[in-house]
Structure 1
Amino acid sequence: MSGYHLHTDEELFVLIKEGNHRAYTQVFDRFYSLLYLHALKILLDEDEAKDLVQELFEMIWLKRDSLTVNGSVSAYLYASTRNMVLNQIAHKKVKTKYLDSLGEFIGQEDYLTDFYVREKELKRIIEKEISALPQKMSEIFKLSRTEYLSHKEIASRLHLSELTVKTQVKRALRILKPKLGFIIGLMLLFIL
């Protein structure tokens, strides 16, 4: 590891800002488990906690040029993890409220037929957008979302690394969310 383990967290962070991947790996190795446990304690879901900490480290690398740490790196990482957890909890609450209101809407018999027509159309649009993804990404995403396979099961089935599967699913979501969010928004406008 050529001495990176001897650097302080702050020295490593300066190296990360310069694009040093070994320094980044060292910070990841030092903090991943601790941040994962911190997130898990609140979220109570292993996969969500892992994903959240992975997203934090991805954000650090992608935004390394503009990140500023006032104080210790460990305090910054813990605060960032806490904030991401709180954002995720808030997002879940909004999602739950939306699903509850949608459930009430579905309960109204007058609108059931219209709802099923729109649901069928939405499924068709979603399938079309998924099919428009690159072939391997589409295949991985379908296994994840329609066959409900874990990243490990998909990796085993397709002879890929688990990290590759996870990355492909995240990329697919990044591509699909803006497209499908707009379409769902439009459909909701016509429902209301």
Structure 2
Amino acid sequence: MHSYSLLTTEELLHLLQEDDPQAFEELYKRYWFRLYVSAHKRLRVKEAAEEAVQTLFESLWKNRHHLHIHTSLENYLFASMRYIVLKMLYQQMETAMSDDLSPSVSLQESPEQEIIGRDLQHYIQQIVNRLPERCRQVYQLSREEMKTHKEIARLMGISEKTVENQITKALRIIKTQLHQLFSL
């Protein structure tokens, strides 16, 4: 019989990987509050922070047999928490934008969210830069220069339907790339 509170984190991880639920419970007790504080600093909503921690521990249990941690478990948990929070912020942003992506959206609730927002804007801009030329031009005229479909069609000598199709194509590519980035 183990006295779980006396075991090292690495020993608990080993027991967890051998399906020991008490090792999981001890890890939960040790890290729940610190992970919650970390998530709450970024999300600023109690329920969202609790959900993030719950998601992390569910994932830890489900993937216990496949964990290959190259640093410490603590580093792994906090890095995982950052990814979960980033994914949640992305989902909040996507919901708020109602299917319309615009690189000018800013998440400025906290300095960390502002940094995440800038990183996300930078990543979206990289995706936009890799779009096919016509698609990129139409997207930039629409989203960055705020031109109407009619104005873009006149400027580029194409139909409004083509403008619509190019914007749809750009948004689909951007969303696909972002979903790949945020898949855990």
Interval containing the TM-score (normalised by the shorter chain): 0.5 to 0.7
| Structure 2 partner of 1:24 | 24
| Structure 1 partner of 2:15 | 15
Q: Which amino acid counterpart does residue 70 of structure 2 have in structure 1?
A: N
Q: What is the Cα deviation at residue 61 of structure 1?
A: 0.5
Q: What is the Cα deviation at residue 99 of structure 1?
A: 6.5
Q: Which amino acid counterpart does residue 30 of structure 1 have in structure 2?
A: R
Q: What is the Cα deviation at residue 83 of structure 1?
A: 0.7
Matched residue SS, 1:60: helix
In structure 1, runs of 5+ residues without a counterpart are 102-192
Taking the aligned partners of 2:68 and 2:25, their CA distance within structure 1 comes to: 19
State the structure with bigger RCO (CA 8 A, min sep 6), 1 or 2.
2
Q: What is the Cα deviation at residue 24 of structure 1?
A: 0.4
Which stretches of structure 1, 4 residues or more, deviate above 2 A after TM superposition? none
| TM score, norm. by length of structure 2 | 0.52
For residues 10-89 of structure 1, the aligned pairs below 5 Å read 10-89=10-89
Q: Which amino acid counterpart does residue 52 of structure 2 have in structure 1?
A: L
Which structure dedicates a bigger proportion of its chain to helix?
1
Count matched residues.
Answer: 101
| Cα RMSD (Å) | 1.7
User: What is the identity percentage for the equivalent residue pairs of Structure 1 and Structure 2?
Assistant: 34
| TM score, norm. by length of structure 1 | 0.50
Taking the aligned partners of 2:15 and 2:23, their CA distance within structure 1 comes to: 6
For residues 84-163 of structure 1, the aligned pairs below 5 Å read 84-98=84-98
Matched residue SS, 1:65: helix
| Structure 2 partner of 1:154 | none
Matched residue SS, 1:98: coil
| Structure 2 partner of 1:177 | none
Q: Which amino acid counterpart does residue 62 of structure 1 have in structure 2?
A: K
1:90-109: CA deviation from partner (whole Å, max 9, x where unpaired): 111111111679xxxxxxxx
In structure 2, runs of 5+ residues without a counterpart are 102-184
Taking the aligned partners of 1:68 and 1:32, their CA distance within structure 2 comes to: 21
1:1-49: CA deviation from partner (whole Å, max 9, x where unpaired): 9411111111101110110000000000000000000000000000000
